[in-house]
Structure formats: C-alpha cells, structure tokens
Amino acid sequence: MNSLSSELIIFNSKTKQKEKFVPIKEGFVGMYVCGPTVYSKVHLGNLRTFLSFDLINRYLKHLGYKVRYVRNITDAGHITDDSGNEHDRIGNQSKLEKIEPMEVVQKYTVYFHSILDTFNAIPPDVEPTATGHIVEQIEATQKLIENGYAYESNGSVYFDVLKYNQEHNYGELSNRNIEELIANTRELDGQSEKKNPQDFALWKKAAPEHIMKWNSPWGKGFPGWHLECTVMSCKYLGETFDIHGGGMDLKFPHHECELAQGKASTGKNPVNYWMHANMLTLNGQKMSKSTGNSILPDELLSGNNSLFNKAYDPMVVKFFLYQAHYRSVLDLSQDALDASEKGFNRLMNALETLNQIEAKESSTIDINNWKEECYKAMNDDFNSPILIAKLFDATKFINSIKDGKDSLNQEDLDELKTTMNVFVFDILGLQATSNSDSKHLNLVMQILIDMRNHARNQKNWELSDDIRNRLTEAGIVLKDGKNETSFGFD
C-alpha cells in the first residue's frame, strides 16, 4: 500500500460531505458502478461518467488497493423513470430495428466496449448482466416479500415504499421527502395495481407480446431494473461494500431504490460511500436528441458532425473531460476542446523535453513538494483539474530547466520523470497520440543505423549484417545512400 492512501478523502453523496476513506477490509476496495442499458449507442454524458470511474479505479489501484471493480450491463429492458412510468427500452429498439432484443443487446454492448477501449479505459473486473442473474433476482424478490417489504399484485411484485419508510428513511440518499413525493405524483393509468404510486416493480408481469421474459413464482415476467443492481452488487461485493458510483441522474430513483432494497433485504446499509458524476452539457445546453443538441462519441472522434469544425483525438477529449472535477457540470464546446487540445500537446511536448534534460549538481525546484501536491489533489476526492494544473506547473519548470533558468539534480530529475509518467499514463490513462509511434520509430531506427555504421567502421561485419538481416525480417529495408542510410518498408 502507498502510504498516501491513508489520506484519501471521498465526497459521499449520501452524507453530502467529504469523508476520510476507510475501506471495510484493509487493502481491499469493492466498487460497483451502474453500467449502460444497451439499447443505443452510449452517449457522451455516460462516457464521462465511465471515464470518471476509470480514473477512480486507476487511482485506487495505484494507491495499492486490490480493487474489485464491478460494472454491470443492463440487458433486460425494464426501466422505471422518475414519474414511475415503465419503458422497455431494449424491446422498443428491437421493434424499431426489426431485430431480436438480444441482437440489440449485442450490437450496443460491442459498441460500448469498443468506445471505452478507444478511450483507454480499463475493463471492470466483473461485468455482470441482468439476464445472467434472473434466478438471483427472483430469489431476492421472494426474500423481500418474506421480509414484508414487497407484495404481489396481478402477476407483478412491488416494493412497498410506505411500509419501508415506517422503519427506514426512503429519500435519505436523494434528500427527498416521501410526503412531498406523494403530493407531487400524478396518478397514471394502469398503476392501480400498486398500493402507492411510489412503489416500484421488483418483478414485472410480461405482456404476451413481450419477448424477454422468464417463468417465476408469479408467472411470466421480467426483473425490475433497480433490483438488478442490488442483486449483482451484493453477489460480487457482499451485503455491504465500499463504493457505489454512477451518473447524477441515477441518484433518484435508481440508487434510492437500491438503498431501500438493500436495507429491506438484509437490514444492513449496503453502501459506505455513494459517488455521483455530474452532467456534461453541450454549448451551454442540456444534451437532447430531440432538440438536435447532441453528439455521439464516434461523431466527435470522426469529425462527422455539424457541431464542430474538426475531429478530435480520443486522448484530447479525455483530457478535456478530466479538466473538470467529476462532481462539476462540464460544458463541451469547440473553444473548450481546442483549448484542451493545445494543453494536451503542451503536456506531451513537455514529456519529450523532459527526456532530453540532463541532471545538474543541484536543484532549484522543490520536486518533492510538487509531487506531494499532485497526490494531495487526487487524495482530495480525485480532483483531476487540480492535478492537471500541477502537471502544467511541471511543464513550466521543465521548459525553464531546458532554457537553463532552473536545474535539477539526478535524484530530483528521476523523481520528476517517474511522477509525471505515473500521473499522465497510469492514473489519467492518457496515451501518446498515434503519430508518436512513427516519431519513435524514426528515433529508434536512427539508433540501429548508427550502430550498424559503427560496426561497419570497426569491420564488425557479423554485427552489421545481423542488424540488416533482422530488419529485413521485420519488413524494413535499409537504403545506403551517399552520405547517410535511410529506411523503408518491404
């Protein structure tokens, strides 16, 4: 364990304050993040959430924790929105695209994985699916009925929110008051089978035309969305686990319902730290497909859109996202992306410059203090914009050293290099953009060409031939010119 891990502070959405992070089991972290419902291409706002938790996962692992990071795939289509309406999103998309629901699931799961891979996100340690836990969801529903917190009605099973609220506090996570919720609810058709409009489905009776359905003690149906996450987090992380994350929009009702289900089922508080990532807006407005103020990740990367005048590298977009704290609203715009592109290039150039710097006798910069500030930023609720500001401080003093205005001794220079690499590549998960491979190839080829020339000057034909032959095998041809040797591809 990194000694700095003891200083980690996390903002807990439930208590609404920053708290010292103390894991249930020393050295281990269990983290559950709500994954996508795979009925459409993941949108940029969701991408931001998943990249926020990628950063958190990477930093926890860097601190030395053995993290079990669980992120689900919602592949059974039941979604309940704020007003208690029920939509079968996967089923609807299936009708629209005229393919089977599980083909919809596969298509958008493949897209989701591919996009996250493009952004160099580390896959979760377990990626459970709702359809992979039907048995467990039926059993969890039975347990909630046995415990008196759920009731069957017309082939569906509902969670009894008022009953739960008698002993617990429904609304404690999202700071809602149940009386107000009730006062604000419009009574909708077809909801009369519930005792109360706030009650939510644990198991939903399937209409005859519904494709994705399973037999249960209550007839053919499908599981409730909220229950899915309770069942899967509990199965892989235990009845109480460390961190539960997701987008801000999931706080209510989804996470509120998860919290209620957990307590009603086991009597225990299921989650120690609730974390919520904030919204991404586009040109100052909420993103919305219907108004056209919306862009998909692949449209942003390909430049194939009407909102931006160029394509952006995924690493530039990622750098842009991390320039805001995960709990702040962030606005996507041409200017902001262009500024991030400049910043990203400045950082990458500084990393190159750093490699050419030579150590001096003494240091004029306090590298240890700078390094501590980097950790302090991340330990303060994963504050990536402060971290990035510190990295920009480093670009300044790297350039100042290059210009001979400052200097570092060997120890400090090594420390600076290591720390920059750890934060830029391991923790932020940035990658040098693709054209840097060609740059490196040129540099490395020059080393080999020099070595071969040196060998030839020394009449070491064995070595010079060996270099040429190995390059030929690699599909690279050396061309000996009058004054210099160049290379090309076979």
Nearer to a second copy, 53 or 382 (CB): 53
Nearer to a second copy, 271 or 337 (CB): 337
Nearer to a second copy, 167 or 411 (CB): 411
Q: Is the previous residue joined to 253 through a cis bond, with omega within 30 degrees of 0?
A: yes
Continuous H helices in 267-383: 297-302, 314-322, 334-356, 367-379
Nearer to a second copy, 11 or 312 (CB): 312
Query: Cβ of residue 33: shortest distance to a second copy, in angstroms?
Result: 14
Nearer to a second copy, 383 or 433 (CB): 433
> What does the alpha-carbon distance between residue 152 and residue 21 come to, in Å, rounded to a whole number?
40
Tell me the one-letter amino acid at 223. P
Nearer to a second copy, 162 or 311 (CB): 311
Query: Cβ of residue 6: shortest distance to a second copy, in angstroms?
Result: 25
Query: What residue ranges bind a second copy (CB under 8 A)?
Result: 68, 99-100, 102-103, 105-107, 109-110, 113-114, 117, 123-129, 131-136, 139, 214-215, 236, 309-311, 345, 351-352, 354-356, 417, 421, 425, 432, 434, 436-438, 440-441, 443-445, 447-448, 450-451, 467, 470-476, 489-490
Strand ranges for 164-233 from DSSP E = 200-205, 221-223
Cβ neighbours of residue 393 closer than 8 Å, sequence gap 6 or more: 370
DSSP assignments along 266-283, one per residue: HSS--EEEEEEE--EEET
- Distances, alpha carbon 1 to alpha carbons 70, 409, 450, in Å: 21, 28, 44
At 207 the three-state DSSP class reads coil
Cβ neighbours of residue 192 closer than 8 Å, sequence gap 6 or more: none
Nearer to a second copy, 267 or 303 (CB): 303
Nearer to a second copy, 16 or 489 (CB): 489
Beta bridge mates, 156: 153
Query: Cβ of residue 336: shortest distance to a second copy, in angstroms?
Result: 16
Query: Cβ of residue 374: shortest distance to a second copy, in angstroms?
Result: 18
> Of 219, 221, 175, 176, nearest to 198 (Cα)?
176
Query: Cβ of residue 434: shortest distance to a second copy, in angstroms?
Result: 7
Query: Cβ of residue 473: shortest distance to a second copy, in angstroms?
Result: 5
Query: Cβ of residue 436: shortest distance to a second copy, in angstroms?
Result: 8
Tell me, rounded to whole angstroms, the distance of Cα 84 from its chain centroid.
28
Query: Cβ of residue 221: shortest distance to a second copy, in angstroms?
Result: 11
Taking the CA atoms of the chain, what radius of gyration do you get in angstroms? 27
> Of 10, 16, 11, 381, nearest to 173 (Cα)?
16
| Helices and strands in the chain: count of H runs, count of E runs | 16, 17
Cβ–Cβ under 8 Å, residues 205 and 215: no
> What does the alpha-carbon distance between residue 251 and residue 272 come to, in Å, rounded to a whole number?
15
Query: Cβ of residue 179: shortest distance to a second copy, in angstroms?
Result: 39
Nearer to a second copy, 103 or 179 (CB): 103
